[in-house]
Structure 1
Amino acid sequence: MTNFKPLALTIIFCFFVSSHCTIIIPKNNNGNLIQQTCKQTPNYEICIQYLKSDPRSSDADITGLALIMVDIIKSKANTTLNKINQLIKKKQEPSQKEALNSCAGRYKAILVADVPKSVAALKQGDPKFAEDGANDAAVEATTCENGFKGKSPLSNENIAMHDVAAITAAIVKQLL
């Protein structure tokens, strides 16, 4: 019986200590999901760069990562459309002005149709339509670029949009 008291005290002590301890679990590091997701896209480095720069990615699932990329499409489309509008205001030769006007229509289509379609589809759990929207944005950027006779003043923006849209489509495809 003499061994019972120390054993009982040890058990009570352990119970008391454990009931008053907080278990610290590190915050979910989503880097592995981001890396696995980006490995399945056409441009791993750009994918990583965009997703890791957005704080929402730290606890996002694949749908959340796709929504982040759609937001990047939207941001790039707005920036490009602003540049197009500035270029249109300057004196341009007719073929250049025509190409710029065509590009303006294409980037408006990205903003008015492709982005909202993709967001709605992702939120409703219908990724096929989101993939279509991202692919459409890539096509619009490529078509804009090809509309210039000679050097395009929007090459950097069109290439960036194409890349982001292709990455987005590849991420969304992982949900199918």
Structure 2
Amino acid sequence: MVSPSSSCFLLLLVVGITCTQNRSPFVNGDIDLIQKTCKTTKFYDLCISSLQSDSTSSEADTKGLAIIMAKVAVANATNTNTYLSSNLLVKNTNDNLKKALKQCADKYSAAGMALQNSVQDLTSEFYDYAYMHVMAAADYANACHNGFKRYPRLVYPPEIAAREEGLKRICDVVMGIIDALAN
């Protein structure tokens, strides 16, 4: 279970990533469509804050909202990959930790590619494929966690756990929107 402080971190991370992509925060988009769309997801507040943070959401239909959320997920996976890769450069004498971090960085790189594929699939209205790619991205984050289990003396860092949970939640939101599109 994620602590309240980790939840706040996740929300701030998503809003921060979205805002750093040259978009104005909290636009007054089609709030009715955004609310209706977000009600189909497991994480309503995350969905609302992410979509309202993106100025293009005001002109988007449901498919466009799914694409926006998928792009948020791409940014999250890419940011986590960068974070993990930069930690590999830090002087660290623990070879097992270096291996685990490298494996995690690779998993988040793969998650980013899967999510980029989902954006293309959404654009082409291949919703089943988009869903599959988003599901795979969430699983890559889980694989990072599982990779640490191979090294019994390593503790899964809370910073990575929070990032894993954040990506999984964003992916859940994307899958909820895709489910609504497919119906």
- Secondary structure class of the residue paired with 1:76: helix
Q: In the TM superposition, what is the alpha-carbon distance from 1:115 to its structure 2 partner?
A: 2.1
Structure-2 change in CA distance of 1:58 and 1:92 (3 Å): farther
Displacement, 1:164? 0.6
Identity of aligned residues (%): 30
Matched, 1:151 2:152: no
What whole-Å deviation, never above 9, does each CA across 1:44-69 have from its counterpart, x for those lacking one? 11111101111111121111001101
Coordinate RMSD, CA, aligned: 1.6
Within 5 Å, give how 1:22-171 maps onto structure 2: 30-90=30-90, 91-112=92-113, 114-148=114-148, 149-152=154-157, 153-171=159-177
Q: Distance in 2 between matches of 1:71 and 1:80?
A: 14
Q: What amino acid is the match of 1:44?
A: Y
Bigger Rg, structure 1 or 2: 1
Equivalent pair of 2:34/2:48 in contact (CA under 8 Å): yes
Q: Which residue of 2 aligns with 1:9?
A: none
Runs of 4+ residues deviating >2 angstroms: 145-149
Alpha-carbon distance between aligned partners in 2 of 1:41 and 1:165, rounded to the nearest angstrom: 10
Unaligned segments of structure 1, at least 5 residues: 1-27
Unaligned runs of 5+ residues in structure 2 are 1-27, 149-153
- Whether contact under 8 Å (2:88, 2:98) holds in the other structure is yes
Shift of 1:151: 2.9
**Could you tell me whether the CA contact under 8 Å between 1:128 and 1:173 is conserved in 2?**
no
SS in 1 for 2:181: coil
Superposed CA offset, 1:2-27 (max 9, x none): xxxxxxxxxxxxxxxxxxxxxxxxxx
What's the CA shift string for 1:88-109, capped at 9, x where partnerless? 1121512211211111111111
1:29 offset after TM fit, Å? 5.0
Aligned pairs, number: 148
Query: Cα 1:92–1:52, aligned 2, differ >3 Å: closer, same or farther?
Result: farther
Output one character per residue of 1:109-163: Cα deviation in whole Å (capped at 9) or x when no partner. Answer: 1223x12321121111111111111111111112212322423241121111111
